Structure formats: structure tokens, C-alpha cells
Homo-oligomer: A and B are copies of this chain.
Amino acid sequence: MPKDVITTRAKDYNQWYLDIVREADMAEVAEIVRGCIVVKANGWAIWEMMQRELDDRIKETGHSNVQFPLLIPKSFIMREAEHVEGFAPEVAEVTRAGGEELAEPYVIRPTSETIIGHFYSRWIRSYRDLPLLYNQWCNVMRWEMRTRPFLRTAEFWWQEGHTAHATEADAEAETLKILHEVYADFAEQVMAVPVIRGLKTEKEKFPGALRSYCIEAMMQDGRALQSGTSHNLGQNFARAFDITYTDQGNTVQHCWTTSWGISTRLIGALIMTHSDDEGLVLPPRLAPTQVVVVPIYKNDAERGRVMEAVARITAEWKGRLRFKVDDRDNLTPGFKFNEWELKGVPVRIEVGPKDVEKGSVAIARRDVPGREGKSFVPQAGLTERIGALLDEIQASLFQRALAFREERSAFVSTYDELKQQIERGFAWAYWDGSDEDEKRIQDETRATIRCIPLEQPGTPGACVYTGRETTRQVVFARAY
């Protein structure tokens, strides 16, 4: 594997991303199925790690997993006015099955509010049935025109939570609980990706939602990536699908529903937040392999002694570290170092004949390339040392990403400043414009309002576009 299989970010950021996706065994474009990808072993293993962590949080907050059908009667998609506008143009339709034309086509779910709404209307009778707190892990399909591995694909994999509540306050509390306790916590603690928690503008919200909340992250090219959304759907879907309950006073009321999702596009966010020109960089909490051990030897006698030491060193790692011993015989250590660097393994341990003599090993950090990240440490106490190092790497990746975001963020007070700042990163600005103003800025700059952050300064200022005084700040950026 030659060193230069990865294009540098400076040379071509887009190609750098595609090179990592390919060389780190993450995914491959499935040209024969338009817009779809094959998720390869390293990519799917990372998604499994993400699923496990998210699923724990989803269950801890009181939700159960269920599974609704892949297919939705086409007429369902048409029932909620904004929803049909948002999704009807990009659905894939099943019109024939079992050798016959279908009377009514089905669509492959682009998202499941409609079919789940249908069932909730049957399952919910009384206030005693509420809240209903379900989630599903599944594939969905949206016939996108411009696709990119993980970031935007026709088929993708996600979780979609769907809940029903008696009151607006309950639905709002659920929407925010997911945003904070599940999504932002997962992004920051597990992915080591700092996020801004905010509200979407009317123009950017989910089709059919009352309010959409999101977490927004900054990629290494300064662009934003929406990393999770949590929607208070109000009573819109409850009205469209007749989801009602009888309250304690025996009155029939419409429910308040929510939906929220995080998808495989997060794998793209992970790559673009931490990786470097040598390949993938993974935070230890998501690394399918946290530690790789590369034995170094020149002959069978050395091999015997080295492998014996490796067996001894790794004996106590089982169940404590996710590790691999790379004992392939026909490859040089240098080749192996490269391959594991490409695949993003956080810590590499090298054991050679001299290490065996001295009772030491060499330890190299993936996140600090070259000599600076390499040290020689005693074999005694190695397990604890690696555990502490993994924690340090996890924290360091987060801090580095946070520092990068801060460095690339600035407050802007004029439209000209805004235009300049979005070339670099996030532009914070006072905002009191209309939907049309927002649209005009997007046409002129390709930047959108990513969100209205939940944390606001509270002091008034002049809108960056209209000059009108407001206390509301927003974040503008170009986005994936």
C-alpha cells in the first residue's frame, strides 16, 4: 500500500474524503444501484459501535424498539400537506409484485411518520396509553440526485424515534430530552464532535413539523454538517392520521407527536472531523479496534520470543480492550503501520526483540503522527497505561475539534462580513429577516441558517441583513 493513496486535504478536500472512504474499507459506491453504497467491514463496524451507544441512551430514556414495514401505501405520503411536498418528489415506488401490477403503488419509506401514524391511531385509545415511546433501526430510501458516500445516499441506515403525548408540553420536553440527553451527549462524549444545539428556522424545518431542533457540527473545511434532528410535530400528523385519545375528563383530543433521527451520515461527520492526510482517525470509544499490536522480528528465533511476549502482554486485555495482534507473516512492519494508520486504529503497540530484552514496548498514538506521538514504556502496567491513553486521546480529539471550530467561527455584523466569514466557517449574526431574505442569502452565498442556537446572548443587536433590532442570533454556514 503506497503512502500516497490519500490525496491531501490541501490539494483536494473532496478527493481526500473519497480516498479515506475507499482506503479505510468504509464504503464503495454501488454504481449498479443509483445513488446507493455498499457499506464495507470497517464502515459497518463503526456504525455498529454507534448503534450500540445510541441504543443504550434511547433505552435508558424509556423507549422500546419496534419495527414497522418497509413499504408505505403511496396515498399515506399524500395526507400531510407539507410532508407530501417534502418527500413525494424523491420516493421510490413499488408498482409490481408477485408478477402483477398493484392496484395502489407502495413507496419505500423515506421516513415513517405516516405509516406509524396509521398504527398509533389504532393503538392509542386513552390517556393511559400515553406517552407511547417507540424507536426503530432500519433502512430508508430517498431518490437523491447528487450523492456522496455516507453524507447523502439514496438508501441510508438510521434510527427513527416516534412518540405520542397528551400535551404540547410533554411533546416539547421529549423533543428536547432527545436533543440533549441522547444526540448531543452521544456526539460530544462518544464521537468527540462538538455540536451547537439549536432550533431550525421555518424554512429549514422538517416537512410537517411544528418545530425542528438539531445539532450542528463543523467539518475541517469549515462547512456545517447537520448531525441529528429532533422534531416536535405538533398535532399535524395526529390530525392527518386521526391519532386521538380520551382524556381524564372523557374528551377526545388529538395527540402531540414527535420524531427524531440520526443516520449513517454521522460516519461522514466522523471522518471529516478527526481524520488527517494519513487516513482515518477514530475516537477510541467508536474504534472497532482500539489497539493493534505489531510484532517485529527478523527470523524464527526472534519471532518465537516476540510472540511469546505479545501473548503474555495481551493475555489480560480480553474484555477490557478491543485489540488485534497483526501476526501476518508475509508483510513488513512498515506496511502494517500504514494499513492501521489508514484504518484509524487509535493506539499501536510495537514489540521487537530489544523490547523483549528490556521489558518495554513502543507505543504510538494515531492522533499525534510521527515521533511526537511515539514513546517507549515498560510492559508492567501497560493495560492501565493504554486505558488512560485512550481516555486522553478521546478528550484530546474533542478539544482539538472544539478549538478548530472556535477558531473558524466569528460574529459578523454586516452582510459583507458574513460573505467573507462563511468562506472560513461559521458566521454568528443577529437575525430578524424573513423566509425570503433567508432564501436570497442562500442564492447569493450558498450559505444557510444552520440553526438558532438554544444558548443566546440575550443582548439586542442589529439584524445582519435588515438592520432591524433583535435579540436573536443565528449561525450561518455552508452545509453538507
Contact = CB atoms under 8 A, between A and B. Distances in A.
A73 interface: yes
- List the 3 shortest-distance A-B pairs measured between CB atoms, nearest first: A98-B143, A41-B64, A92-B97
Given A33-B73, A71-B155, A66 B40 contact: yes
Contact of A91 (B89, B97, B106): B97
A375 interface: no
Contacts of A93: 94-97
A72 B71 CA distance: 16
Contacts of A145: 98
A95 B96 contact: yes
A157 B33 contact: no
A73 B44 CA distance: 23
A70 to B, nearest CB: 5
B69 A30 contact: yes
28 contacts: A28-B119, A30-B119, A32-B118, A33-B73, A34-B97, A36-B70, A37-B69, A38-B66, A38-B69, A41-B64, A41-B134, A44-B64, A44-B66, A44-B67, A45-B64, A70-B70, A70-B139, A70-B141, A71-B92, A71-B155, A91-B98, A92-B106, A94-B94, A94-B95, A95-B95, A95-B96, A97-B143, A98-B143
Q: Which of A30, A32, A99, A138 has the most CB of B within 10 A?
A: A32
A138 B138 CA distance: 8
Contacts of A119: 28, 30, 38
Given A91-B98, A95-B95, A98-B145, 7 more contacts: A30-B68, A33-B73, A38-B67, A41-B65, A70-B108, A89-B98, A93-B97
Contacts of A65: 41, 44-45, 48
A91 to B, nearest CB: 7
Nearest to A48: B65
A39 interface: yes
Contacts of A333: none
A148 B73 CA distance: 21
A455 B138 CA distance: 40
B40 A70 contact: no
Contacts of A92: 71, 94, 96-98, 106
Nearest to A141: B70
Interface string A236-259: 000000000000000000000000
A33 B72 CA distance: 7
Contacts of A66: 38-41, 44
Given A45-B64, A119-B38, A138-B139, A33 B69 contact: yes
Contacts of A73: 32-33
A65 to B, nearest CB: 5
A69 B106 contact: no
A96 B115 CA distance: 20
A423 interface: no
Interface in A25-77: 28, 30, 32-34, 36-41, 44-45, 48, 64-73
Contacts of A96: 92-93, 95, 105
